Chains A and B, each alone.
Chain A
C-alpha cells in the first residue's frame, strides 16, 4: 500500500514540475515581442533522500538564456540606435512550442501513471468488500 502512495506522490511531483515548465514557456511566448527580454529556462532535478521519499521531481532555479538578443531593424522605434536597430527578445517561438508540446506529453504520461496507481489501489481495496 505504501508503494502506491509513493507512486502517487512521485507522479504528482512530476505533474507540478511539468506545470511549472509550461508556465515558463507561456511567459516566454507572451514576451516574445518584448524588447530586451531573455527567455527563461527551468531545470528539473531528482531528489534523493534516504527516508523513502526519493525520486521526486523538483524544479531548480530559473535561468535566463544568455544567448544574444536579436537586432531588429526599425528606425522609427523609440529605442532604435543610430543604425536603426533595437534589441528584441531571444525567444524562438518554434523552440517554445516544441517545449510546450513535450511538457504536455510528459504531463499526460504522468497523469496516466497516477490514474493507474489509483486504480490498482482501489482494486486492492475491493478485495475487502462483500
Chain B
C-alpha cells in the first residue's frame, strides 16, 4: 500500500469524475427550459475505470500506468443518452437529473471518505494521531 498509493489515485479519479458529472448535471438542469437542448452525460465511473485498467486489480507494470488518464484533465467520454424529447426539442427530464445529482453527491462523498480514511491510516502509521 505504501509504495505507490493506488488508493489515493482511485479516490482522486472518483472525485474528479463526480466533479465532471456535477458540472454536466447542473448544465442539464439549467437548460431544462431551453428549446432544442439535448441532455449530456458522461459514462459511469465503474465503466470508465474498467475500460481504462482492464480490471480492478492494479497492474503496476510501470509508474503512472494505473489510472493514468484520470490523473490530470480527466478525459471522460461524453455521451448523449437517447431520451424522448419535448415538442420544443428539449430532452431534459428534471426527475432524472435529480436522481443523477444524488448519485453524484454520494459518489463524491464516498471518494472523499476513502481519501480521508487512507490519510488517517498513513498518519497513524507515522505515529501521529
Report A's interface with B, CB cutoff 8 A.
1, 3-4, 6-8, 10-11, 13-14, 18, 21, 43-46, 55-57, 102, 105-106, 109-110, 112-114, 116-117, 119-120, 123-124, 126-127
Contact across chains for B35 and A44 when beta carbons are under 8 A apart: yes
| A117 to chain B: closest residue by CB | B22
- Inter-chain contacts of A120 with B (CB < 8 A): 18-19, 22, 105, 108
Give every chain A residue within 8 A of B37 (Cβ-Cβ): 46
Extra contacts besides A116-B22, A116-B101 (10): CB < 8 Å: A4-B22, A6-B23, A55-B31, A57-B34, A102-B33, A105-B94, A112-B101, A113-B25, A114-B26, A127-B115
Secondary structure of the A side of the interface? helix
Q: Does B30 contact A (CB under 8 A)?
A: yes
Summed over the interface, the residue pairs from A and B with CB atoms below 8 Å come to a total of 89
Quick check: B33 and A106 within 8 Å, CB to CB?
A: yes
Tell me, in angstroms, the Cα distance from A55 to B26 when the chains sit together.
Answer: 9
CB atoms of A113 and B29 under 8 A apart: yes
Residues of B within 8 A of A (CB): 15-16, 18-20, 22-23, 25-27, 29-35, 37, 94, 97-98, 101, 104-105, 108-109, 112, 115-116, 119
What distance in Å separates the Cβ of B119 from its nearest Cβ neighbour in chain A? Answer: 8
Return chain A residues, CB-CB under 8 Å to B16: 3
- What secondary structure prevails in chain B residues at the interface with A? helix
Cβ distance B37 to chain A, nearest Cβ, rounded Å: 6
| CA A10 to CA B109, docked complex, whole Å | 22
Contact check, B32 vs A109: say whether CB atoms are below 8 A apart. yes
Q: Give 28 A-B contacts (CB < 8 Å), ordered by A residue.
A: A3-B16, A7-B27, A10-B23, A10-B27, A11-B26, A14-B29, A14-B30, A44-B34, A45-B34, A46-B37, A55-B30, A106-B32, A109-B32, A109-B97, A110-B30, A112-B98, A113-B25, A113-B26, A113-B30, A116-B104, A117-B22, A120-B19, A120-B22, A120-B108, A123-B108, A123-B112, A124-B108, A127-B119
